[in-house]
Structure formats: C-alpha cells, structure tokens
Amino acid sequence: MPTKTVEQKERVVVRFAGDSGDGMQLTGDRFTNATAVLGNDLATLPDFPAEIRAPAGTLAGVSAFQIHFASQDIVTPGDAPNVLIAMNPAALQTNLRDLEPNGTLIVNEDAFVDRNLEKAGYASNPLEDGSLDGYRVYRVPMTSITVRATEGMGLTKKEAERSKNMFALGLVSWMYSRPTDVTTKWVEKKFNRKPDILRANLAAFRAGYNFGETTELFAHTYEVKPAPALPGTYRNIAGSTALAWGLVAASVRSGLPIFYSSYPITPASELLHELSRHKNFAVRTLQAEDEIAAIGAALGASFAGQLGVTGTSGPGLDLKQETISLAVALELPLIVVDVQRAGPSTGMPTKTEAADLLAALYGRHGESPLPVVAASTPANCFDTALEAARIAVKYRTPVILLSDTFLGNSSEPWRLPDVDGLPEIDPHFATQVNHDDGFMPYLRDENLARPWAVPGTPGLRHRIGGLEKEDVTGNISYEADNHERMTKLRAAKVAKIADDIPLLEVDDETGDAELLVLGWGSTFGAIRGSVRRTRRSGKKVAHAHLTHLNPWPRNIEEVLRRYRRVLIPEMNTGQLSMLIRARFLLDAESYTKVQGQPILAADMDEQITRRLTR
C-alpha cells in the first residue's frame, strides 16, 4: 500500500456539484456534519436548480453545495472553491468558472459520455481536449466502482448507481481526514427500514474512502485542525431552522403560543415545514389559501391572544401589505418574516437578493411606520426572531423580519445559548379597566403601547378596526386634529424603540480606520471576513452592521460621521445607502450586486482596497 503524506491546511473550500438527482445536497450536508463534529469552523451554501425536475444531465438541473471549513473562525461560505467535485459534464460546465486557478477537480469519469457532453453543450470531451490543463484533474470512475462495490446486494443497476454520491462523500472524507463514524451512524439510522439501501450506501461510502487510501492517484491527504472556539456545546445550523427555532423560543419565553400561517413560497416554505414539526410546543400552523389569508389569520390569532406570525418571500410580501397596514392601525403584535429572493415578480425564486428593504419600510399606503429587523448570519436568525417577537409584543406592533435565500439556506456552527438566559417576553395582557370611564383600548403606556385585552376577559370588551380611531377611546373618528395626533403617535411609538435597542457597535481594531463599511443582513460574513483580511494587509477599515433597520440605533449618525468614508454594500441597487444619504446628508458610497448570488468576501476585498490605496 502506498504511503500517503498528510498536509496541513488552514482553510478549504469544497464544492459538490451534480445533477439534481445525484443527491449533492445530502452529500454536502453529511460532509458538513462530519466537519462540524471535528471542530472546524465552517460555513455552507447550497445552490439549488430553479426547476424541481429539470431533465437529467442538463445545465438547468445542476445542483451544488459549497462548504468552507477552517482551523480559524470564518464568516462566509467562501468564495472560489479549492476543490470541485463534478458528477457529470453539466456540473463541470456550470461550476468550473468558479474553481480557483490550479484548483483540484475530481470528476466522475463514467458520466462523461457523448449524450451527457452534448446536453452540457460540450463540443468535445473536456477530459480529453486539454481544456482542463490549468487544474489538477482526478478522473474517477465513480459510477462503475459503486456498481461493483454493491454487487450481490440485490439491487438493480439503477439503484446501485444511485449510491455514487456516497462514493464521492467517502472519497472526499478520506481526502480531508473526516471521521467516518458520523456518516456511518447516520446512514444506519436513516435507512434502518431499508436494509438493501443501507448496505449499498455503506459499501459505496467505504469504497470511496478506500479508493482514496489505496489508489496511487492521490498522493496525500489533508488535515484541517479544529478551530479555536469559545467553550460550549455547538451544533451546525441553517438560517431557516434557526429562525423557526427562534420563534419557538419566543413562544417559550413569552408563554404565548405561536400561530404561524403561511402560503408556500420558495424559500420561506422551510419555515412552515420546520414549525409544523413542533406541535408539541403548542405551535399552531396553518397553510392558508393565499398570503392575504395567511396574514389575516395570524392577525386574528394575535387579537385572540396568541403570537401571530406569517412568513413569505417578496411576491407574498406585496400581497400582505394591506393587512400589515391594518395591523399598524390595530396596534397588535404580529411578525412578518420576509425571506427575500431575487425580484421583481417571480424573478429568480431560488436566488438570493436583499431588495425588499424599502418595501418593508415604506411599501404601504398612508403613514404606516413599523419596526424592521434583519438577520445577519444563519445562527443570528435565532436571535433576530426573538428580538422581533420582543418588539412586537412589548410595543403592540407588526414587525417585519428580513432574511434572505442565502441566509435561510446556508449554515454555520452555533454555540448553543443557555435557555434560561434568553430574554423574557412579558405579554402583559390587560386584565383591568384602565380608566374611570371604562376600558380605553388606545390609552397608551410609557412606551406608547396600547393595552392588549384579549377576548374572554370580562369588562374589557372593545372593538378595533382599520378606520381612524379617536386617541384614547379607540372610537371611530374623522376629526382633523385627531388624525394628525394619531399619525404622530404611531410614528413616535416606533421611533421610541430606538431607546430600547443596543447602540451600533463598530469593529474598528485600532480605532483609526478611515473607511467604515456599514452593512445589513446577510452581507455580514463577507464584510467581516474581508475587513479582517484587508486589515492584515494594512488597510484602515472598520465594520458596523445594522440589525435594526427601523428605528436605527440612536448613535448611528455619530458613528457614521466618525469616518472619513462610508461604504454601504448591498444586494440591491442601493436602498440603505439612499436612506442614509437622505437622512444625514452624508456622502455614503454604495456598492451593489444583484446577480442572485451573495456578495463575496473577494468582492469586498476589491471594494475596500480600491478605496484605501495607501
């Protein structure tokens, strides 16, 4: 047996790419878990095809999963992959352009037959024509070895071939010295009712692992040491799961049952799927007939004393706006989650964008202010959901929580919080008459929030509606001064939340940065990663990130004015930067990217370097 050398690596980016029927998401997911358990820091990003059942072998059917893992803390799923596993020509065609120069390319040689090459638009076989000379290419007959390894297990050839993703997983696990028991255990559990499939998957996985070990094709394995991290218990978590769990946590910490109603839409459906699994937390989930019904039912549940939540993506947000404005008038707690995707209209449903900020802030008729928060990393979705709930309940207001496709799908390790240390949320239901003349539904407290009196409470019967209400009594009023007063009160209530949120923190190591990068949402990882990196090469750059988009932290203007230059990167055409410029008459610069892909740390490197030539 040839002896293999072990090479140390600090960080590696691996991308698995194949046909959507090849099980690449699962392969990536399993590799991620083995990596997480090993203690590497990591970040992942799946890239699904838009069509669910695109014809096999076509470019439209390519599905990919990228993982960045390192022995240091990292903040993004990585930019250019160092390693690309291409299960067929279409996967090579669509992903090769991202592979770093001289990067490692592992291809399933068996799939490079004429029919597949043609579907992928190759005039000649790239494995033969020299076009891959700039890469380290490993040709592995994955399909045929898998079929051989599973021979005699009672599977048809087709069934046997389906395990080739496990072969790829085994091979890459060997290359990067991943533990095998995590995967083995998972396979055993997953297929314990299908013994044939179980055996085939294990055999394919082992065959892949052994292939690396025994063939002379691969000269060495790599090792990525565990990343130093704060002590604690960790798990890997995707943004959509974290967001759903944050809502469950809000229920636990408030005692309010969650009422989640939603109409299926990519990529927000994940929230409905996840929450509907947690009925034992008294979570009520309703798949409504449309987005309008979904938010209507959530608002009704809030009126009835539960925590109404609805989730959607851009097209659904449009439909919900009239009801959101009703919630602004009713002043009831409500959370609207918008997992943003590329628009306008149906746009690119599986691709990311963060262009709903203005719609969230100003997308309704009339003066209709509400708090808006945005999550910044997958794990941060948990905290942001809790924060949205805290604000909604305390201030009796609808809150829009912005996430996006990238955040929802990508994952990172999460140091699990202590449940008892999570913020408590007091629903503070009204139980008593609050005025000499009877119950006044719009008599406000010190936060300008009105009482939440739920049906069934004796003595507090009242009617509320979308018609303008008289201050204090809540009776219908078309009186001129009253409308102006109520308009200002609603705005003041939201503005006052600024006193109740953390100040904007700046990551400015030396305190003498010249350029401040101000971000919001899922650009966090790319900005933070790049700021750290460019600083090491002497750039004087700082980073601040907004969770609260309305109201902004009290010190935002002061922070912005501290820096000579301000750069605002966004996955839209400059929505936050327009607001900052308008509000503060400040010459903030905008960097925008609307390609359906996240802003990368490399993009930020270039933007920062270009502005700080010294």
Partner 1 sequence: MTTVGNGGRHGPDGGGKPGSGAPLTLTKKDFASDQEVRWCPGCGDYAILSTFRAFVPELGIPPEQMVFVTGIGCSGRFVYYMDTYGVHGIHGRAPAIATGVATARPDLSVWVVTGDGDALSIGGNHLIHALRRNVNVKILMFNNQIYGLTKGQYSPTSEEGKVTKSTPFGSLDHPFNPVALALGAEASFVARTVDVDRQHLTGVLRRAAAHDGAAFVEIYQNCNVFNDGAFLALTGKESKGLNQIRLEDGEPVKFGPDGARCVAVEFDGTLRIADTADTPEELVYVHDSGHANPAPAFALAHLSSGPTEPTALGVFRDVRRPVYGELMDRQIALATEKLGRGDLGKLLHSGDTWVVEDGGVPTGPLPS
Task: Map the footprint of partner 1 across residues 62-81, applying CB under 8 A.
Answer: 72-73, 75
* Strand 104-108, strand 83-86: pairing: parallel
Residue among 92 and 571 whose Cβ is closer to partner 1: 571
For partner 1, give the closer residue by CB, 408 or 525. 525
Q: Does 303 bind partner 1 (CB under 8 A)?
A: yes
CA dihedral 494, 492, 557, 585 (to 10 degrees): 110
Q: Is 455 in the site for partner 1 (CB under 8 A)?
A: yes
Nearer to partner 1, 55 or 466 (CB): 466
Quick one: which of 16, 209, 406, 414 contacts partner 1 (CB under 8 A)? 414
Residue 16: both structure tokens together: 């698995």
One of 165, 173, 236, 522 touching partner 1 (CB under 8 A):
236
**CA neighbor of 375 nearest in space, from 405, 332, 417, 419:** 405
- Binding segment (CB under 8 A) for partner 1, from list 20-28, 197-205, 277-285, 589-597: 277-285
Tell me the closest approach of the beta carbon of residue 183 to partner 1, in angstroms: 11
Q: Do 394 and 331 touch, CB atoms closer than 8 A?
A: no
**Preceding amide of 551 cis, omega within 30:** yes
By beta-carbon proximity to partner 1, the closer residue of 213 and 322 is 322
Stretch that binds partner 1, among 78-86, 223-231, 354-362, 597-605 (CB under 8 A): 223-231
Distance of CA 361 to the CA centre of its chain: 20
Residues numbered 529 to 588 that lie near partner 1 (CB under 8 A) are none
What single string gives the DSSP state of each residue in 532-557? HHHHHTT--EEEEEESEEESPPTTHH
Assess 259 for contact with partner 1 (CB under 8 A).
Answer: yes
For partner 1, the closer of residues 150 and 173 by Cβ is 173
Q: Quick one: which of 126, 167, 125, 127 has its CA closest to 144?
A: 167
Q: Does 31 bind partner 1 (CB under 8 A)?
A: no
Binders of partner 1 among 321-380, rule CB under 8 A? 322-323, 326, 330, 377, 379-380
Tokens of 510: 């030396």
**Binding to partner 1 in span 40-59, by CB under 8 A:** 41
Nearest one of 348, 343, 352, 355 to 378, comparing CA atoms: 352
Roughly what angle, to the nearest 10 degrees, separates helices 314-330 and 291-303? 30
- Smallest separation (angstroms) from partner 1 to the CB of 184: 13
Question: In whole angstroms, how close is the CB of 388 to partner 1 at the nearest point?
Answer: 16
SS (H, E, C) 135-153: CEEEEECHHHHHHHHCCCC
The single residue among 1, 6, 123, 419 that binds partner 1, judged by CB under 8 A, is: 419
613 belongs to the binding site for partner 1 (CB under 8 A):
no
From candidates 305, 333, 398, 598, binder to partner 1 by CB under 8 A? 305
Among 184, 221, 457, 482, binds partner 1 (CB under 8 A): 457
Least distance in angstroms from the C-beta of 430 to partner 1: 12
The Cα–Cα gap between 538 and 482 comes to 58
Alpha carbon distance 209, 175 (integer Å): 8
Residue 296 three-state SS: helix
**Binding to partner 1 by residue 284, rule CB under 8 A?**
yes
The answer to whether 575 touches 521, Cβ cutoff 8 Å, is no
Tokens of 525: 């990882």
User: Which of 141, 308 has the CB closer to partner 1?
Assistant: 308
**Residue 613 burial (CB count, 10 A):** 6
Q: Of 96, 182, 207, 309, which one interacts with partner 1 (CB under 8 A)?
A: 182
Pick between residue 73 and residue 159 the one whose CB is nearest to partner 1.
Answer: 73
Q: Are 274 and 242 in contact (CB under 8 A)?
A: no
Asked if residue 479 binds partner 1 (CB under 8 A), the reply is no
Does residue 306 belong to the site contacting partner 1 (CB under 8 A)? yes
If the CB atoms of residues 140 and 224 are measured against partner 1, the closer one turns out to be: 224
565 CB contacts (<8 Å, ≥6 apart)?
514, 515, 516, 589, 611
CB of 92: closest distance to partner 1 in angstroms? Answer: 31
Q: Does 257 bind partner 1 (CB under 8 A)?
A: yes
Stretch binding partner 1 (CB under 8 A), from 345-353, 401-409, 453-461, 582-590: 453-461
Contact status: 281 vs partner 1 (CB under 8 A) = yes
**Residue 34 CA to its chain's centroid (Å):** 21
Q: Which is nearer to partner 1, 142 or 244 (CB)?
A: 244
Of 195 and 228, the one with the shorter C-beta distance to partner 1 is: 228
Rounded least distance, CB 35 to partner 1, Å = 11
* Cβ(600)–Cβ(523) below 8 Å: no
Name which position in 173, 251, 352, 550 contacts partner 1 (CB under 8 A).
251
Q: Which helix (H) or strand (E) holds 270?
A: helix 269-275
Number of amino acids touching partner 1 (CB under 8 A): 95
In the list 416, 492, 503, 586, the residue contacting partner 1 (rule: CB under 8 A) is 416
Burial class of residue 132, CB neighbours in 10 A (0-12, 13-18, 19+): middle
Q: Which residues contact 209 (CB under 8 A, 6 or more apart)?
A: 170, 171, 173, 174, 180
Q: Helix or strand or coil: residue 13? A: strand
Smaller CB separation from partner 1, 306 or 590: 306
| 2 versus 255: smaller Cβ distance to partner 1 | 255
Per CB under 8 A, the list member of 60, 113, 217, 304 interacting with partner 1 is 304
Minimum Å distance from CB 347 to partner 1?
A: 24
567 forms beta bridges with: 517, 589
Residue 464 makes contact with partner 1 by CB under 8 A: yes
Identity of the amino acid at 23: G
Q: Which is nearer to partner 1, 18 or 569 (CB)?
A: 569
Q: How far apart are alpha carbons 490 and 65 in whole angstroms?
A: 45
Query: Would you state the structure tokens that stand for residue 468, as one six-digit string?
Result: 């303008």
Nearer to partner 1, 121 or 465 (CB): 465
Q: Using the rule CB under 8 A, is 132 a contact of partner 1?
A: no
Instruction: Give the position of tokens 């007063």.
Output: 485
Residues 6+ apart with CB under 8 A from 181: none
Which of 130, 458, 511, 538 contacts partner 1 by CB under 8 A?
A: 458
